[in-house]
């Protein structure tokens, strides 16, 4: 009987995974898997979750949001663990799980994972850390970092919008320098996102992104007049904002360098990222994922 290491965050989202633990075990017994659980908590970090991993394990299963998935992937790569990964989307933000079209229902997600074959997909890398979905900088990028965990667990995604409204008085243009083979940008912007996935905060922003093309999708929302921002907002609602919009610099690339001397932070899948300068690249076919649909 093969084992599966089941890493779960009981505080993710609305704590739904707690009531569905029996479902996870039942579905895996159906496929002749032994579930070996590891609970992430304030007193138990993820560092020791992989101590017993050996060739008796078939794959890693993680239940949580983008930040938890990101954390698991980084620890797997740090330890050179190349087992396939299955994702149960139970976080406040599940953008990467949406990208691979994973069902929100736990039983359906387990069935999809257990009946699938691994698919190799790309990973983003920012300096020395991997990201599964998006790396960002500029205005609003640290909302997830600043949002109280209890507030997120209580009111979910609304907590992000509440925190975002608090930051409106700080709205200002930011100087940044971006260099890649495909594009060079040296000017003022409001927000910059580098996607390995497609969505951020449930907004389908990088809708041209592919999971296995070896490229990252870069979106720079430039500092611009209010009328251009209104036009951009309308285009975003329609899902047309990457089509010749003056307020956006958009390109695909394997690698880019970013310099910035503003007092701003970076964000990786909802967690604090490294300081500038940044070197970001796409590592093709770096992660095996189960249950993935194109």
Asked if pLDDT for residue 34 goes beyond 60, the answer is: yes
* Residue 147 and residue 98 in one domain: no
- pLDDT tens per residue across span 54-108: 999 999 999 999 999 999 999 999 999 999 999 999 987 799 999 999 999 999 9
* Residue 89 and residue 144 in one domain: no
The partner residues of 278 in beta bridges, in order of sequence, read 258
Please state the domain count of the chain. 2
* Residue 73 and residue 210 in one domain: no
Provide the pLDDT for residue 141. 63
What is the distance, to the nearest Å, from the Cα of residue 76 to the centroid of all Cα atoms in its chain? 16
Does residue 293 lie in a domain region? Answer: no
* Residue 135 and residue 213 in one domain: yes
* Residue 33 and residue 135 in one domain: no
Domain boundary among 83, 116, 149: 116
Does residue 96 lie in a domain region? Answer: yes
Provide the pLDDT for residue 140. 66
* Residue 147 and residue 107 in one domain: no
* Residue 35 and residue 169 in one domain: no
* Residue 95 and residue 143 in one domain: no
- pLDDT tens per residue across span 99-147: 999 999 999 999 999 999 999 999 999 999 999 999 999 876 644 444 4
Q: How far apart are CA 133 and CA 236, in angstroms?
A: 19
* Residue 136 and residue 106 in one domain: no
Does residue 289 lie in a domain region? Answer: no
Does residue 259 lie in a domain region? Answer: yes
Provide the pLDDT for residue 242. 83
* Residue 109 and residue 183 in one domain: no
Provide the pLDDT for residue 41. 83
Does residue 124 lie in a domain region? Answer: no
More confident residue, 240 or 277: 277
Domain boundary among 91, 116, 141: 116
* Residue 188 and residue 264 in one domain: yes
Percent of the chain with pLDDT over 90: 66
Q: How far apart are CA 18 and CA 67, in angstroms?
A: 18
- pLDDT tens per residue across span 207-255: 999 999 999 999 999 998 877 777 777 777 777 788 877 889 999 999 9
What is the distance, to the nearest Å, from the Cα of residue 55 to the centroid of all Cα atoms in its chain? 28
Which CATH number goes with the domain that contains 270?
2.60.200.40
Domain boundary among 62, 88, 116: 116
Asked if pLDDT for residue 25 goes beyond 80, the answer is: yes
Which CATH number goes with the domain that contains 66?
3.40.50.10330
Q: Domain residues for 23?
A: 2-116
- pLDDT tens per residue across span 144-175: 444 444 544 444 444 444 444 445 455 678 99
Provide the pLDDT for residue 170. 57
Provide the pLDDT for residue 203. 81
* Residue 135 and residue 241 in one domain: yes
Provide the pLDDT for residue 210. 96
């Amino acid at each position: 009987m093969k084992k599966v290491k089941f890493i779960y965050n009981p505080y993710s989202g609305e704590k739904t995974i707690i009531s569905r633990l029996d479902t996870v075990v039942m579905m895996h017994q159906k496929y002749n898997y032994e579930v070996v659980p590891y609970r992430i908590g304030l007193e138990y970090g993820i560092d020791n979750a992989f101590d017993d991993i050996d060739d008796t394990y078939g794959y890693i299963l993680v239940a949580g949001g983008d930040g938890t998935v990101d954390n698991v992937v980084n620890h797997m790569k740090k330890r050179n663990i190349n087992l396939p990964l299955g994702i149960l989307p139970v976080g406040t933000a599940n953008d990467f799980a949406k990208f691979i079209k994973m069902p929100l229902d736990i039983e359906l997600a387990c069935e999809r994972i257990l009946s699938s074959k691994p698919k190799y997909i790309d990973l983003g890398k920012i300096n020395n850390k991997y990201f599964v979905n998006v790396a960002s900088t500029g205005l609003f990028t640290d909302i997830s970092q600043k949002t109280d965990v209890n507030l997120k667990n209580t009111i979910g995604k609304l907590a992000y919008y509440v925190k975002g409204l608090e930051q409106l008085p700080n709205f200002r243009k930011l100087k940044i320098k971006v260099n890649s083979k495909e594009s060079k940008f040296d000017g003022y912007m409001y927000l910059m996102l580098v996607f390995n996935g497609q969505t951020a905060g449930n907004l389908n922003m990088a809708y041209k992104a592919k999971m296995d093309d070896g490229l990252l999708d870069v979106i720079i929302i430039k500092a611009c007049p209010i009328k251009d921002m209104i036009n951009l907002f309308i285009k975003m609602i329609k899902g047309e904002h990457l089509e010749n919009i003056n307020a956006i610099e958009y390109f695909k690339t394997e690698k880019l360098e970013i310099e910035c001397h503003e007092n701003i932070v970076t964000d990786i899948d909802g967690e604090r990222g490294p300081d500038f300068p940044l070197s970001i690249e796409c590592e093709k076919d770096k992660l095996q994922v189960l249950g993935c649909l194109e």
